[in-house]
Amino acid sequence: MSQTPHAESRASQAAPVSEPGADARRGVGIAHAKAILFGEHAVVYGAPAIAIPVDSLTAEAIIEAGPPGLGIASSLYTGPVDGAPARLAPVVTAIKASLERAGLAGLAHETEGGAVVTITSSIPHERGLGSSAAVAAAIARAAFDLAGTELDSETLFDLIQTSERVAHGKPSGIDARTVAATGAIRFNRGAVAPIHIGAPLILAFADTGHPGSTAQAVGSVQALREREPEATDALLSRLAEIAEHSIADLASGDRTAVGAAMSEAHSILHRVGVSSERLDAIVAAACAAGAAGAKLTGGGLGGCVIAVADSDAHADEIGAAMRLAGAERTWTVEVPAA
């Protein structure tokens, strides 16, 4: 069933839920998902990418101080931090690093009491929506909220990246920036600039139900580039051009142009080998249902599709078509004019 995002503001997600120090025994943090509109894979080679926050999908962390011992409570694992499975290594890293940076090293090392970190998230795992980065951001905000200490944007970025390096090896930083962003951004070589959105952009999202693998996809493009350097570089350069040119289309509110750019970008991503039969089928179904354009978002080889709709009702129709084409679930995201 299609899901429309709730009305929770981005500003409320960017700040601690409670006033610093309001409850010395409890800290709360929230962060949202992200999606890349343009620039996947080209961004790995220093090209620009355009990304948006997805407010309707969130991760929340609650850190409650208590008896000695550091624990995790989540849908994936509940128990002592030291017994967490390998897949939660980024989360464990985020917890310990955040507690230490917030001045709560005693909790991190269980020398001054302990804590339980409860994590809840509506962001699908391994779908290119920034799940690991959002969880790390939520944990960092909860730790600083518990400490009653202000968390500045660069410290937040550093803490997310510390966790992301465990999750992805050499993250570009786009996830870390976008899950903390209050609007659409242009990301290039670590630098971030806000993007003007001239008219609301309504997107139908589809989850293929298959996990994507950023590392595998990046490796695949790298291997193709080594075999066919000129052809691959030309395709990556075109992805960069599409991303750069989309800024003017987004500013003017030209949905037709944005959609056409998405479809061209998806075609290129298919050619560099990071699409899949299911992704291609869902993109085709969206376009057949009248979407102005559609593409995979994120690393590819699974994950999600985004499609440009004319209205919320149209997004529902596109979502229904994408589910018939194999999508596990769909929902609607509006990028507001800003």
> Would residue 246 count as lying in a domain?
yes
> Would residue 258 count as lying in a domain?
yes
Q: What is the pLDDT of residues 225-234, one digit of tens each?
A: 999 999 999 9
**pTM score of the predicted model:** 0.87
> Which among 259, 318, 316 is positioned nearest to 285, based on CA atoms?
318
CATH number at residue 247: 3.30.70.890
125 with 153: CB under 8 angstroms? no
CA distances from 123 to 127, 131, 167, 304 (A): 9, 6, 16, 12
Residues 214 and 170 in one domain: no
Q: What pLDDT, on a 0 to 100 scale, did the predictor assign at position 285? A: 98
Residues 183 and 202 in one domain: no
Instruction: State how many domains the chain has.
Output: 2
The pLDDT of 108-133, averaged and rounded, is: 87
pLDDT band, very low/low/confident/very high, at 46 (cuts 50, 70, 90): confident
> Would residue 279 count as lying in a domain?
yes
**Lowest-pLDDT choice from 103-117, 262-276, 288-302, 315-329:** 103-117
Residues 220 and 320 in one domain: yes
Q: What pLDDT, on a 0 to 100 scale, did the predictor assign at position 110? A: 66
DSSP string, 180-231: T-SS-EEEETTEEEE---SS-EEEEEEE-SS---HHHHHHHHHHHHHHSHHH
More confident residue, 180 or 107: 180
Q: Is the pLDDT of residue 321 over 60?
A: yes
- Give the C-alpha separation, 303 to 318, whole Å: 17
More confident residue, 208 or 215: 208
The domain boundary residue, chosen from 157, 192, 227: 192
> Would residue 2 count as lying in a domain?
no
CATH number at residue 33: 3.30.230.10
Buried b (16+ CB within 10 A) or exposed e, 182-208: eebbbbbeeebeebebeeebbbbbbbb
| Residues identified as active-site | 175
Residues 14 and 48 in one domain: yes
29 is in which domain, residue-wise? 10-192
79 with 72: CB under 8 angstroms? yes
Q: What is the DSSP letter of 127?
A: S
Query: Three-class SS of residue 308?
Result: strand
Residues 177 and 31 in one domain: yes
> Which among 237, 50, 16, 241 is positioned nearest to 141, based on CA atoms?
16
Q: What pLDDT, on a 0 to 100 scale, did the predictor assign at position 107? A: 83
> Would residue 1 count as lying in a domain?
no
Q: What is the pLDDT of residues 181-214, one digit of tens each?
A: 999 999 998 899 999 999 999 999 999 999 887 7
Residues 134 and 181 in one domain: yes
More confident residue, 25 or 232: 232
